[in-house]
A and B are shown apart, each in its own frame.
Chain A
Amino acid sequence: MATGVAAWLPFARAAAIGWMPVANCPMPIAPRDNSKKQDELIILNVSGRRFQTWRTTLDRYPDTLLGSSEKDFFYNEETKEYFFDRDPDAFRSILNFYRTGKLHYPRHECISAYDEELTFFGIIPEIIGDCCYEEYKDRKRENLERLQDDQEENKDLKQSNLNFRETMWRAFENPHTSTLALVFYYVTGFFIAVSVITNVVETVPCGSNSNQKDMPCGERYTVAFFCIDTACVMIFTVEYLMRLFAAPSRYRFMRSVMSIIDVVAILPYYIGLVMTNNEDVSGAFVTLRVFRVFRIFKFSRHSQGLRILGYTLKSCASELGFLLFSLTMAIIIFATVMFYAEKGSSSSKFTSIPASFWYTIVTMTTLGYGDMVPKTIAGKIFGSICSLSGVLVIALPVPVIVSNFSRIYHQNQRADKRRAQKKARLTRIRIAKSGSANAFLHSKRNGLLNELLELTGTEEDEQKLMKSTSLLESQHHHLLHCLEKTTAHEFVDEQMYEQNSLETALQAYPSHSPSIACHSSPAVTCCGRSGKRNSPLPNASPSPANPIPAHQSQLQELSALHIQRGNPLTHTSRIPRLRPPLQQPGQHIQA
């Protein structure tokens, strides 16, 4: 049953008395309301801001968090209020929903933050009122598109285990993924250009030396042009067949626009090959050559702007259709008028209504060739009205098309910008993460220093060092330390790692390491102090001034689990390095 109408139920029940005299049989017994609860005020404390409302207001929607017993989880016994650690601004609209029955979407809120709040409080976004629903849906769609773009980027970066076919397809679709793809991309682009230029130059009249009239170059250097054409078509055919092979869904690929353009581009050549110089079909053959110009559309794979234009035209199909329709109407009207206006004048070019179409089109698009001109006064008047209205009719749908194009173009710009920004963002995130890794390493050194000091026994220094890290940090570091012990590897920073890899390449394995000692003596506990006591003395220097050389000698031969963003390729490449250190322990213990 709907909501605030619950307040009217007593009224509806009371009005039921109107049925009583009419009824012939006894009525059922009314349910007793045993909970004689007075309506009480509930305090909702949302991040410090207190909202108060009646309990019955919240009870209106029993399938949400606030209306059901789920809110008891948030009840604070001491302050006798319900505490929610959420955004108080967003909570306003949620509480208003209970009060008024209408959920509104505040425009200044971020759409995903608002969605989260709704999910938390168990309210489905579909009940947003009509006044705000469109805005909500638009913003949600925008956000989704943005996220999808980002996800596609991530997918590109992450895939490493593709088979040959999928790699090929990816190479075709995104040329910047590998150098081979890039080369292929440029080669095909070059050949498309060559093919188009050839088609154009073919028709240019080259100078003739022996004949009376100029021959077009195509007929003069037939063989040369034929060779170029063959080469281009061969490249295009190979490209098409490779794409067809690599396509994940061949049927869908064959139906796509680009593949149809490809086919149309190369088909005339093959048809021309099949048909010899048969006089009957040479007319048709010439027509087929026209289709060769469609090769220029293959450029749309190479140019994003072209693709955007095509997409815009497709999405503005209705506006274009309207433009065409209104123009046709206007042309017919004005052509008729002009024909009858000019009928009287002698030697008029307006011989029929279809003949007047040409005049109307030329005038409405403000071309004004001047090959057909009205001579009567009425004709001139209608001609001027025609040109004025032409300007208006053509100008009307154009802004719609322009705004569509602008919107799609900007979306693409945004996608490119985001891609560029993403690299910078990831770099910054990496730096921040390595900062925290360095903190761990730093604290580890301090931890070793601590143990040193324990040995030497200066309490004040020890306490100073302990205080420098908070409890949370120290617990975190303890956790990482346990991980190190578990895997018998240690964390290092990047410089260390570079140096390590260099030195393992040069096969230099100096000195000791406490962790190796730890690893080799399994009797030692996880955070084995006994192992550490052996070696830190010569290596670890109490002064933090040169931690790096001490560190270096400790950790050199270890391959470290470098803290990175889980890049699988680089991860796998480190596995071979694990082997050399394990051979060392025997030596080191002796040393």
Chain B
Amino acid sequence: MGALMVIFSLQTKQRRKPTDSVEDELELSAVRHRPEGLEQLEAQTRFSRKELQILYRGFKNECPSGVVNEETFKDIYAQFFPQGDASTYAHFLFNAFDNDHNGSVSFEDFVMGLSILLRGTVQEKLIWAFNLYDINKDGYITKEEMLDIMKAIYDMMGKCTYPVLKEETPRQHVEVFFQKMDKNKDGVVTIDEFIDCCQNDENIMRSMHLFENVL
């Protein structure tokens, strides 16, 4: 029995080591991020002072540390789509917002992205959308990338849809998309093809102006 006690105490000593590393990690992530001044942001984005104030208050409330990491981003986005699984699409969105690719979205990234989406020209918005679809940021949208995006969008719908979602629906949708966008039928969509095609499509043009008065 005494031997068992000795063995127990040895085990607890070993267990202490991983907890130490967790504490180190926590210390790193507790870094506070402060955004640039209001004037600079006003200059860089198309938001007014008041709008920036409102945006920052909401942002800081949800993320007191000043930066959003991917997990928080996914949680927040998932709350808007409770029926389905929004995590994949949120992942792509996160990458689209995270301009400097450092794994976290600061307030500047956030506000720049919103500035384009809400106050930018149609051209800028289309470029942003292209960047979203181009997962590896190589300037071309391949069918696989598009399929990933499409699946992520359909995942957000969840299971209970009408009509019932089938396995090949995303694939079919990708085919339709490529038929429309890929002019030279080389299997990829470049940014010029994309912008040209969208500007010629009435529906898309109209929908680009849909969210202008969001803020």
B52 at the interface (CB under 8 A from A): no
Let me know if A10 and B204 touch, CB within 8 A.
no
Let me know if B80 and A393 touch, CB within 8 A.
no
Also in contact, A17 and B79, with CB within 8 A (given A4-B62, A22-B173, A26-B207): no
Let me know if B58 and A17 touch, CB within 8 A.
no
A566 at the interface (CB under 8 A from B): no
Let me know if B129 and A5 touch, CB within 8 A.
no
Q: Which of B1, B93, B96: most chain A CB closer than 10 A?
A: B1
Also in contact, A7 and B210, with CB within 8 A (given A14-B114, A17-B129): no
CB-CB nearest in chain A for B64: A100
Partner of B214, one of A13, A26, A99, A393: A13
- How many residues of chain B get a CB closer than 8 Å to chain A's CBs? 47
Let me know if A23 and B203 touch, CB within 8 A.
yes
Find residues 1-35 in chain A having any chain B CB closer than 8 Å to their own CB. Answer: 1-2, 4-5, 7-27, 29-30, 32-33
Also in contact, A23 and B207, with CB within 8 A (given A7-B62, A8-B62): yes
Also in contact, A25 and B203, with CB within 8 A (given A4-B62, A18-B129): yes
A330 at the interface (CB under 8 A from B): yes
B11 at the interface (CB under 8 A from A): no
- Taken together as a complex, chains A and B put the C-alpha atoms of A38 and B76 apart, in Å, by 25
A377 at the interface (CB under 8 A from B): no
Let me know if A9 and B80 touch, CB within 8 A.
yes
B70 to chain A, nearest CB (A): 15
A357 to chain B, nearest CB (A): 16
Also in contact, A330 and B1, with CB within 8 A (given A4-B62, A17-B129, A17-B211): yes
Chain A residues, Cβ within 8 Å of B79 = 1-2, 5
Residues 27-58 of A, flagged 1 when their CB comes within 8 A of B and 0 if not, give 10110110000110000000000000010000
Residues 50-77 of B, flagged 1 when their CB comes within 8 A of A and 0 if not, give 1000110111011000000000000011
- Taken together as a complex, chains A and B put the C-alpha atoms of A2 and B129 apart, in Å, by 28
Chain A residues, Cβ within 8 Å of B213 = 30, 32-33
Let me know if B208 and A20 touch, CB within 8 A.
yes
Partner of A392, one of B5, B76, B125, B211: B5
CB-CB nearest in chain B for A326: B1
- Taken together as a complex, chains A and B put the C-alpha atoms of A449 and B50 apart, in Å, by 73
Let me know if A26 and B198 touch, CB within 8 A.
no
Residues 23-58 of B, flagged 1 when their CB comes within 8 A of A and 0 if not, give 000000000000000000000000000100011011
B110 at the interface (CB under 8 A from A): yes
Also in contact, A30 and B177, with CB within 8 A (given A17-B128, A21-B198): no
CB-CB nearest in chain B for A11: B114
- Taken together as a complex, chains A and B put the C-alpha atoms of A39 and B55 apart, in Å, by 12
- Taken together as a complex, chains A and B put the C-alpha atoms of A289 and B132 apart, in Å, by 89
- Taken together as a complex, chains A and B put the C-alpha atoms of A30 and B208 apart, in Å, by 12
Residues 383-398 of A, flagged 1 when their CB comes within 8 A of B and 0 if not, give 0010011101100000
- Taken together as a complex, chains A and B put the C-alpha atoms of A388 and B126 apart, in Å, by 79
Let me know if B80 and A1 touch, CB within 8 A.
yes
Residues 146-178 of B, flagged 1 when their CB comes within 8 A of A and 0 if not, give 000110010000000000000000000100110
B94 to chain A, nearest CB (A): 10
- Taken together as a complex, chains A and B put the C-alpha atoms of A33 and B215 apart, in Å, by 9
CB-CB nearest in chain B for A385: B2
Let me know if A392 and B203 touch, CB within 8 A.
no
CB-CB nearest in chain A for B128: A17
Chain B residues, Cβ within 8 Å of A30 = 210-211, 213-214
B122 to chain A, nearest CB (A): 10
- Taken together as a complex, chains A and B put the C-alpha atoms of A33 and B61 apart, in Å, by 23
Find residues 87-114 in chain A having any chain B CB closer than 8 Å to their own CB. Answer: 99-100
Let me know if B2 and A392 touch, CB within 8 A.
yes
B14 to chain A, nearest CB (A): 22
Let me know if A7 and B61 touch, CB within 8 A.
yes
B30 to chain A, nearest CB (A): 18
Also in contact, A13 and B203, with CB within 8 A (given A7-B58, A8-B62): no
Chain B residues, Cβ within 8 Å of A100 = 61
- Taken together as a complex, chains A and B put the C-alpha atoms of A158 and B1 apart, in Å, by 59
A452 to chain B, nearest CB (A): 73
- Taken together as a complex, chains A and B put the C-alpha atoms of A390 and B1 apart, in Å, by 8
Let me know if A5 and B96 touch, CB within 8 A.
no
Let me know if A12 and B62 touch, CB within 8 A.
no
Chain A residues, Cβ within 8 Å of B133 = 18, 21
Residues 548-581 of A, flagged 1 when their CB comes within 8 A of B and 0 if not, give 0000000000000000000000000000000000
- Taken together as a complex, chains A and B put the C-alpha atoms of A32 and B211 apart, in Å, by 10
A176 to chain B, nearest CB (A): 50
- Taken together as a complex, chains A and B put the C-alpha atoms of A286 and B78 apart, in Å, by 75
Let me know if B203 and A5 touch, CB within 8 A.
no
Also in contact, A18 and B2, with CB within 8 A (given A10-B215, A11-B114, A30-B211): no
| A residues at B contact (CB < 8 Å) | 1-2, 4-5, 7-27, 29-30, 32-33, 38-39, 54, 99-100, 330, 333, 385, 388-390, 392-393
A18-B128, A20-B210 known; 15 other A-B pairs, CB under 8 Å?
A7-B61, A8-B62, A8-B76, A8-B80, A14-B113, A14-B117, A17-B129, A18-B132, A21-B129, A22-B153, A26-B206, A26-B207, A30-B213, A100-B61, A385-B1
A-B contacts, 6 of them at CB < 8 A, read A7-B59, A8-B80, A26-B206, A27-B210, A30-B214, A389-B1
The 7 closest A-B pairs by CB, nearest first: A7-B58, A389-B1, A14-B117, A27-B207, A20-B207, A18-B132, A10-B214
